Amino acid sequence: MSYEAPLGEIAFLLRTLTPLASVCALPSCAHTDADMIHAVIEQAAKVARDIAAPLNAVSDREGARLENGRVTTPPGFPKAYAQLAADGWTSLAAPLEHGGQALPQLVNTIVAELFSGACVAFQMALLTGSPAAKVIAAHASQELKNLWLPQLADGSSTATIVITEPQAGSDVGLVRTRAQRREDGTYGLTGTKIFISQGDHDLAEQILHVVIARTPEGAPGSRGLSLFLVPKRLLDNEGRPGAANGVRAARLEHKMGLKGSPTCEMVFEDATGYLVGKEGEGLRNLFAMMNAMRLDVGAQSVGVASAALRKALLYVHDRRQGGADADGKPVPIVRHPDVRRTLMAMRVWTDGMRALLYTAAWHEDMAQGLTDREAAARSMHLVGWLLPLIKAGASEAASTVASQAIQLHGGHGYVSDHGVEQYARDARVFAIYEGANAIQANDLVMRKLTRAEGETFRHFAALIRADIEAAAGDGRLVEMTAALTHSLEALEQASAYMLARPASADAHAGAPIYMQLAINVAVGWMWLKMASAERESPDADLRALHARFFAAHVLVDSDALARRAMLGAALLDEAAPERLVAW
């Protein structure tokens, strides 16, 4: 399946909304420069096109397998993984002192997007290494850091995130896997985990499981959970993978997409684990990893949406149906207004979400690298606010855009020849894993909005207002600035409503609608910024046109969304659970 990275769009963002120059100016980036980063991105685009993309169809067709206790990935995966690890693609984010390249988050996010657009099932093998390294770097002992960070960097070990159990999905506090402390300070972990991505495979000799489990003294609920590193193979005296640890893949899920990525039921039988941080602080510490993974789900989503959009853009000029050209032939379907509306809808969400994703990654770099501590803290809180918007907004966009790509291909999209329907199947899980989108809405309203009585939200609103003011006088953006001003006021009204009812049934009932309004405002803000940048460039008019489209077709719903967010729980309470039953 062919793949081409949207390098023009990426370069535009790196010149304008998320300037690479300001990232490279950070003291933490002294070892790198813009030329080198551009070269990394161009090389990533080639790797995506030449190595990852050819795996996409075979990944879907062959899938991962579990035979005689061994999990194998689709043909071509092991060779491609070995090449990528050897070429340094597993070490982009890792610290220099542990053999990594310590490149900015922005670069990691871009590379994740490109590899995902080419073959997201393959990208799953690379997904968890850097988030696992983050949690280890932040919370593990020096000994564990020295042992594991180099292995994650050179790709000799991949990583997993191991939370879910049959009875513990969104409600992590229900986890039952036990961790019994031993005399030598290690722990024996016993229990069953499900849906573990890359829980076993044939890509690397070692797998480092980052596991949430409960110690016997642990309080009930999420406060009693602790975090452990559990290697697939115990290390010998020289730190090399030795005897098998007590953890194995008991079965693989058969699923609608991501077929090349093994999703495993993992059984732990007194498996040796090493505590990360303190007992009882496991879930809090794991957020270092989960936040990184939520950003990565945004990158996966933008990657797949962008690949689907490109396929549709190629097809609509080629396929002729209806009407009559000057020479009497049917017209390319792009001539039909509804097709163009669909293409514009696909583009405003794909490019708008990419801009928002990079904005969060850019602020993550600022949060980590700025020496002005107040500015760094503001960036950190802004990232916290944007993460649920990106995880939920980009995942929904990916599914919608993939579905629209099928629609534009007609029956040729529904059958598998063009590879478009695979995007829809692969993308569907983005809204489910790493915290289902309803959980993102709860996080946004109950935690992110209420922080310091709405301070982060006010900062977000102030940034948008400043950009609206800066765009005043630009005749091309009159509709956009008016619609965004109005939408921001609607969001402020809904925010005040939520802040007045913290953690109430009314707030829970309205949270997903509130989140949709916040997503629309955030993406609208991105379009205002994109349309305001590089006004003299040949692409400026097309960007302004898409900004107007976003105002006319998306922001137009803001009043209705705000009203729905503030409806409260009464109507839903009337629909009591006993009334919503199957026939």
3 state DSSP class of 469 = helix
Compute the distance between CA of residue 429 and CA of residue 439 in angstroms, rounded to an integer. Answer: 14
Q: Which residues in 365-384 contact ligand FAD (CB under 6 A)?
A: none
Minimum CB–partner distance for residue 261 and ligand FAD (Å): 7
| Size of site (CB under 6 A) for ligand FAD | 20
3 state DSSP class of 429 = helix
Residue whose C-beta lies closest to ligand FAD: 169
Interface with ligand FAD, residue 527, by CB under 6 A: no
Compute the distance between CA of residue 444 and CA of residue 388 in angstroms, rounded to an integer. Answer: 6
Minimum CB–partner distance for residue 191 and ligand FAD (Å): 12
Helix axes 478-499, 455-471, angle to 10 degrees: 170
Minimum CB–partner distance for residue 433 and ligand FAD (Å): 4
Q: Using alpha carbons, select from 448, 124, 94 the residue that is nearest to residue 299.
A: 124
What is the number of alpha carbons within 13 Å of residue 512 lying toward its C-beta? 9
* Residue 97 annotated in active site: no
Interface with ligand FAD, residue 57, by CB under 6 A: no
Compute the distance between CA of residue 583 and CA of residue 578 in angstroms, rounded to an integer. Answer: 12
Residue from the set 20, 103, 120, 196 that interacts with ligand FAD by CB under 6 A: 196
Q: Residues with Cβ < 8 Å from 562, sequence gap 6 or more?
A: 490, 491, 493, 494, 517
Q: Which is nearer to ligand FAD, 124 or 530 (CB)?
A: 124
Stretch that binds ligand FAD, among 24-32, 315-323, 356-364, 438-446 (CB under 6 A): 438-446
Q: List beta partners, residue 208.
A: 159, 231
Interface with ligand FAD, residue 440, by CB under 6 A: no
Stretch that binds ligand FAD, among 355-363, 378-386, 395-403, 427-435 (CB under 6 A): 427-435
DSSP string, 321-387: -SS--TTSPPPBGGGSHHHHHHHHHHHHHHHHHHHHHHHHHHHHHHHHH-S-HHHHHHHHHHHHHHH
Stretch that binds ligand FAD, among 6-14, 28-36, 430-438, 529-537 (CB under 6 A): 430-438
Interface with ligand FAD, residue 229, by CB under 6 A: no
Choice among 67, 279, 434, 574 that is catalytic: 434
Interface with ligand FAD, residue 89, by CB under 6 A: no
Interface with ligand FAD, residue 258, by CB under 6 A: yes
Interface with ligand FAD, residue 197, by CB under 6 A: yes
Minimum CB–partner distance for residue 222 and ligand FAD (Å): 12
Interface with ligand FAD, residue 2, by CB under 6 A: no
Number of H helices, E strands in the chain: 20, 11
Residue from the set 144, 234, 344, 436 that interacts with ligand FAD by CB under 6 A: 436
Q: Kindly report the CA angle at 408 between 407 and 411, in degrees rounded to 5?
A: 60
Interface with ligand FAD, residue 174, by CB under 6 A: no
Stretch that binds ligand FAD, among 92-100, 192-200, 277-285, 390-398 (CB under 6 A): 192-200
Residue from the set 19, 169, 188, 246 that interacts with ligand FAD by CB under 6 A: 169
Interface with ligand FAD, residue 170, by CB under 6 A: yes
Q: Which is nearer to ligand FAD, 73 or 197 (CB)?
A: 197
Interface with ligand FAD, residue 285, by CB under 6 A: no
Minimum CB–partner distance for residue 120 and ligand FAD (Å): 11
- Whether 445 and 483 have beta carbons less than 8 Å apart is answered as no
Interface with ligand FAD, residue 255, by CB under 6 A: yes
Residue from the set 89, 187, 195, 527 that interacts with ligand FAD by CB under 6 A: 195
Minimum CB–partner distance for residue 510 and ligand FAD (Å): 12
Residue 83: CB atoms within 10 Å = 12
Q: Which is nearer to ligand FAD, 199 or 384 (CB)?
A: 199
* φ and ψ of 80, to 5 deg: -65, -40
Residue 357: CB atoms within 10 Å = 29
Q: Using alpha carbons, select from 98, 189, 111, 73 the residue that is nearest to residue 149.
A: 98
Compute the distance between CA of residue 470 and CA of residue 462 in angstroms, rounded to an integer. Answer: 12
Interface with ligand FAD, residue 10, by CB under 6 A: no
Counting every residue, how long is the chain? 583
DSSP string, 5-31: --HHHHHHHHHTTS-HHHHHTSGGGTT
Compute the distance between CA of residue 357 and CA of residue 353 in angstroms, rounded to an integer. Answer: 6
Compute the distance between CA of residue 459 and CA of residue 135 in angstroms, rounded to an integer. Answer: 28
Q: Which is nearer to ligand FAD, 264 or 494 (CB)?
A: 264
Interface with ligand FAD, residue 162, by CB under 6 A: yes
Interface with ligand FAD, residue 249, by CB under 6 A: no
Helix axes 142-154, 129-139, angle to 10 degrees: 160
Interface with ligand FAD, residue 433, by CB under 6 A: yes
Q: Which is nearer to ligand FAD, 196 or 382 (CB)?
A: 196
Residue from the set 29, 64, 153, 161 that interacts with ligand FAD by CB under 6 A: 161
Residue from the set 71, 163, 286, 408 that interacts with ligand FAD by CB under 6 A: 163
Minimum CB–partner distance for residue 202 and ligand FAD (Å): 18
Instruction: Say which DSSP state 50 is in.
Output: I
Q: Which is nearer to ligand FAD, 263 or 359 (CB)?
A: 263
Interface with ligand FAD, residue 442, by CB under 6 A: yes
Alpha-carbon dihedral sign for residues 74, 78, 80, 81:
positive
Minimum CB–partner distance for residue 187 and ligand FAD (Å): 18
Question: Tokens 């944007």 sit at which residue?
Answer: 386
Hey, which residues are catalytic here?
A: 434
Binding residues for ligand FAD, rule: CB under 6 A, are 160-164, 169-170, 195-197, 255, 258, 263, 429, 432-433, 436, 438-439, 442
